[in-house]
Amino acid sequence: MSGVWVVVEHRQGEVREITFEMFGKGNELARALGVQCHAVLLGDDIAPLAAKIKPLVPKILAVEDPGLSEYNALTYRAVLGELIRVHTPLMVMIGHTACGMEVAPRLCAGLKWPLATDCVDMQVVDGNIEVIRGMYSDKVNARVGFRGAPGCILTIRSGSFPCEPKADDDAEVTMLPSPPLSEAQERRFIELVAAPKGDVDITRADVLISVGRGLGGPENLPLVEAFAEALGATISCSRPVVDKKWLPKERQVGTSGKKVAPRVYIALGISGAFQHVTAMKQSGTVIAVNKDPRAPIFNVADYGVVGDMFDVVPALTKMLQEQDV
């Protein structure tokens, strides 16, 4: 049964987008390796989830157990660890998400398998798997191989691959027994607490002005608010701005915030860490203002201004206000 495995991430009955992104690449790599891509699905009622992914991969390996009703790193580690030990896949792809980042290292430690985290690309070179992963806040791309290993476990950065998987036929589903989950009981799922909904939905904005740590402090927000008013834009931000409580969480763009794709995205004092960029790079036109000419945000910007936002923003606001008059 060795092949390329994609671990299905799901929450509240919905398959998460990262899974579809991994299917596309998983199918491609499996073809290059001469094997099949398998979706690995854990849950307590897998039929509705299996129905959603059946047309997308050739095979589904499913483990159904009441102990798998909700995501739990310990139960996932127990089940996946046993499956990998018995079936030895060539490669296991897991989303580089809060769940995947928790499970993958535990699995590798238990199996003594190599792990490459936060992979942005993978390819087969002379029959061997090579992956590309960002390092030093994405200033360097490292190429990683796994010499002599029976297989490898990868966590995949969301947004790295398009969601366009398609297998030829509906997947064949193989039900596998669950190992005893009693040892994984020291952590229990209690409830899912949804984030409170605010009065602004940044995902629907046409023009977003996003502020980062370069803002310096909440006392400087009025400057950006005046700019946003003059432009008819909505204000969003990077994570440090939320962590410092300068703006509420509902304004955060990023992997742990919201994914946005406005017609125009203006990034002020944002460095362009991948956790931010992944969630805004689908925007129509990206304009970045940053003092540092080497800030990674310029890699995704259509227009870049190397300068101090405290000079640039008032000048733009003034220009817009004068145009209005």
Write out the residues near ligand FAD by the rule CB under 6 A.
212-214, 238-240, 252-257, 269-271, 273, 275-276, 289-292, 295, 308-310
Nearest approach, Cβ of residue 63 and ligand FAD (Å): 28
Nearer to ligand FAD, 45 or 308 (CB): 308
Nearest approach, Cβ of residue 318 and ligand FAD (Å): 17
Nearer to ligand FAD, 185 or 256 (CB): 256
Nearest approach, Cβ of residue 18 and ligand FAD (Å): 14
Nearer to ligand FAD, 63 or 233 (CB): 233
Nearest approach, Cβ of residue 24 and ligand FAD (Å): 23
> What is the helix (H) or strand (E) element at residue 295, kind and residue range?
none
Beta strand spans in 22-158 (E): 37-43, 59-64, 91-95, 115-125, 128-135, 140-145, 152-156
**By the 8 A CB rule, do 147 and 108 touch?**
no
Q: How far apart are CA 64 and CA 178, in angstroms?
A: 7
Which DSSP state fits 197?
P
**Buried residues in 194-203 as b, exposed as e (16+ CB within 10 A):** eeeeeeeebe
Nearest approach, Cβ of residue 186 and ligand FAD (Å): 24
Q: Tokens 């209005």 sit at which residue?
A: 324
Closest CA to 139 of 298, 280, 304: 298
Angle at CA of residue 274, ends 269 and 280, nearest 5°: 70
Q: How far apart are CA 89 and CA 153, in angstroms?
A: 9
Nearer to ligand FAD, 38 or 251 (CB): 251
Nearer to ligand FAD, 93 or 309 (CB): 309
Q: How far apart are CA 200 and CA 269, in angstroms?
A: 22
Q: How far apart are CA 314 and CA 21, in angstroms?
A: 41
Nearest approach, Cβ of residue 271 and ligand FAD (Å): 3
Nearest approach, Cβ of residue 208 and ligand FAD (Å): 13
Nearer to ligand FAD, 59 or 133 (CB): 133
Residues 6+ apart with CB under 8 A from 122: 25, 29, 91, 129, 130, 131, 132, 154
Nearest approach, Cβ of residue 254 and ligand FAD (Å): 2
Nearer to ligand FAD, 133 or 239 (CB): 239
Nearer to ligand FAD, 152 or 309 (CB): 309
